[in-house]
């Protein structure tokens, strides 16, 4: 059994990790930390876990976490980078669900996150954990940066086209929508039901922290710099990401549908829908799955890709478990045979 710890177990991604890991056949939950709820039973804070998680929240003490084989950080940005070096030195593998190790350039990290990086020497070692793209590297990793939710949907949608060199990398547009759980479990006025309900708005248009992460990944697919316009939106639902992606064709292509189907033929968690489909976020709610449809409106030179995920599963905790499976030599799908909730 793999002994795992979760730092930051009271947030939405933390409890989603607990939901997935408590039923994982190869996992023992060794420690769950929370400074605010230390001493409380986990199932008292989250009654949905009664009968599945029999432990209490503890302070994030290094000695406790050092007894784990692998530690997940479901914490705000800036936490994992201060604790990961010592855990790695003690032989503990680390998966960070925040942004501490996603960007390769420490100066860029400081620009977007407002403080110097605490361990820039680890940025080159950290493996960006998009399993469909870096499966082999993740298997060898001891430190994985779990991708953000928007970046997961956008990169999976654009990857086949950029890899095949079919679209202009200088003119990429990602129009993406998220449910309110993407903002985390905290009390903020814009996230109140009376504020977010029956409304729809864009935000972060002049610059969003996920933009450099997405651009970095797309540039790798394209083999050079890319021009990306990324506009996120908040929609009145709890879970879900819907990314509508636009690219300009630069080469003849007869079968976009076949291109996507072949590209993801070996990826259990990417579902290319039949031609003409329009994926819905509700169909992946609760599941570790990205559903994709590709369109070519009016047979013109614009490709439109639609990609949907559950931001808390494939966009966070489910993808983290997928990475853990690879890092620990397990079947990639272990503990992740989840069917989307409908309705």
Domains and CATH numbers, the chain: 2-125 (3.40.50.720), 149-311 (3.30.360.10)
**Can you list the alpha helix ranges (DSSP code H) found in the chain?**
12-21, 42-45, 62-65, 80-89, 106-113, 131-140, 149-163, 193-196, 210-222, 256-263, 318-327
Distance CA 179, CA 240 (A): 5
d(CA 249, CA 119): 41
211: left (phi over 0), alpha (psi -120 to 50) or beta: alpha
Cβ-contact 250, 242 below 8 angstroms: no
Q: What is the mean pLDDT of residues 211-227?
A: 97
3-class SS of residue 317: helix
How many other C-beta atoms are found inside a 10 Å radius of the C-beta of residue 64? Answer: 15
Mean pLDDT of 76-103: 97
Interval 135-148 mean pLDDT: 98
Here the tokens at position 168 are: 């202009």
At 5, which helix (H) or strand (E)? strand 2-7
pLDDT beyond 70 at 231:
yes
- Is the Cβ–Cβ distance between 208 and 266 less than 8 Å? no
Say how far apart CA 134 and CA 276 lie, in whole Å: 29
Q: What gap in Å lies between CA 133 and CA 221, rounded to an integer?
A: 9
Query: pLDDT confidence of 79, banded at 50, 70, 90?
Result: very high
Sign of the alpha-carbon dihedral angle for 317, 216, 234, 339: negative
What percent of the chain is predicted at pLDDT more than 70? 100
Helix (H, G, I), strand (E, B) or coil at 48: helix
> Which pTM was predicted?
0.96
pLDDT for the residue 181: 85
CA gap 335, 16 in Å, rounded = 13
**From CA 219, how far away is CA 2, in angstroms rounded?**
35
Active site residue 68: no
Q: How do residues 9-62 score in pLDDT, each as one tens digit?
A: 888 999 999 999 999 999 999 999 998 888 899 999 999 999 999 999 999 999
Task: Work out the end-to-end distance of the chain between its first and last CA atoms, rounded to an integer number of angstroms.
Answer: 35
Over 80: is that where the pLDDT of 145 sits? yes
What is the full DSSP assignment across 243-285?
A: EEEEEEB-S--S-HHHHHHHHTTT-TTEEEPPTT----GGGGT
% of the chain residues with pLDDT over 90: 89
Using N-to-C axis directions, what is the helix angle for 131-140 and 149-163, rounded to 10°? Answer: 100
Nearest to residue 161, comparing CAs of 268, 302, 340? 302
User: In 10 A of CB 50, how many CB atoms?
Assistant: 12
**Cα dist. 133→63, 109, 155 in Å?**
34, 22, 10
Is the pLDDT reported for residue 184 higher than 80? no
Residue 236: pLDDT over 90: yes
Residue closest to 6 by CA, chosen among 49, 78, 55, 45: 55
The CA-CA-CA angle for residues 98, 102, 104, to 5°, reads 150
Residue 187 has pLDDT above 70, yes or no: no
Contact, 146 vs 95, CB < 8 A? yes
Taking residues 185-196, what's their average pLDDT?
76
What is the token pair recorded at 262? Answer: 């072949």
- Given 119, 149, 290, 328, the catalytic residue: 149
245-303, pLDDT tens digit by residue? Answer: 999 999 889 899 999 999 999 999 999 999 999 999 999 999 999 999 999 999 999 99
């Amino acid at each position: 059994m793999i002994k795992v710890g979760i730092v930051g177990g009271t947030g939405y991604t933390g409890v989603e990790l607990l939901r997935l890991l408590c039923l994982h056949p190869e996992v023992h939950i060794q420690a769950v930390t929370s400074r605010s709820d230390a001493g409380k039973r986990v199932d008292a804070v989250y009654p949905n876990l009664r009968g599945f998680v029999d432990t209490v929240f503890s302070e994030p003490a290094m000695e406790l976490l050092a007894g784990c084989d692998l530690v997940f950080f479901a914490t705000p940005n800036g936490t994992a980078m201060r604790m990961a070096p010592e855990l790695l030195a003690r032989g503990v593998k680390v998966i960070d669900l925040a942004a501490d190790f996603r960007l390769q350039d420490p100066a860029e990290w400081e620009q977007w996150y407002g403080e110097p990086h605490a361990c820039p020497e680890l940025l080159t070692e950290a493996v960006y954990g998009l399993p469909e793209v870096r499966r082999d590297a993740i298997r060898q990793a001891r430190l994985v940066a779990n991708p953000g939710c928007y970046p997961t949907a956008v990169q999976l949608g654009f990857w086949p086209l950029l890899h095949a060199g079919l679209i202009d990398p200088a003119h990429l547009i990602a129009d993406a929508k998220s449910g309110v759980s993407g903002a985390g479990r905290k009390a903020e006025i814009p996230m109140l039901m009376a504020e977010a309900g029956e409304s729809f708005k864009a935000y972060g248009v002049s610059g969003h922290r996920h933009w450099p992460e997405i651009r970095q990944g797309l540039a790798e697919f394209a083999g050079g710099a890319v021009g990306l316009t990324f506009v996120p939106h908040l929609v009145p639902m709890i879970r879900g990401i819907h990314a509508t992606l636009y690219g300009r064709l630069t080469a003849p292509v007869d079968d976009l549908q076949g291109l996507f189907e072949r590209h993801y033929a070996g990826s259990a968690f990417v579902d290319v829908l039949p031609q003409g489909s329009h994926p819905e976020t509700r169909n992946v709610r609760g599941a570790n799955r990205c559903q994709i449809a590709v369109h070519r409106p009016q047979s013109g030179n614009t490709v439109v890709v639609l990609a949907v995920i559950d931001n808390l599963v494939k966009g966070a905790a489910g993808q983290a478990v997928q990475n853990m499976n690879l890092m620990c030599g397990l079947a990639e799908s272990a503990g992740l045979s989840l069917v989307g909730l409908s309705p």
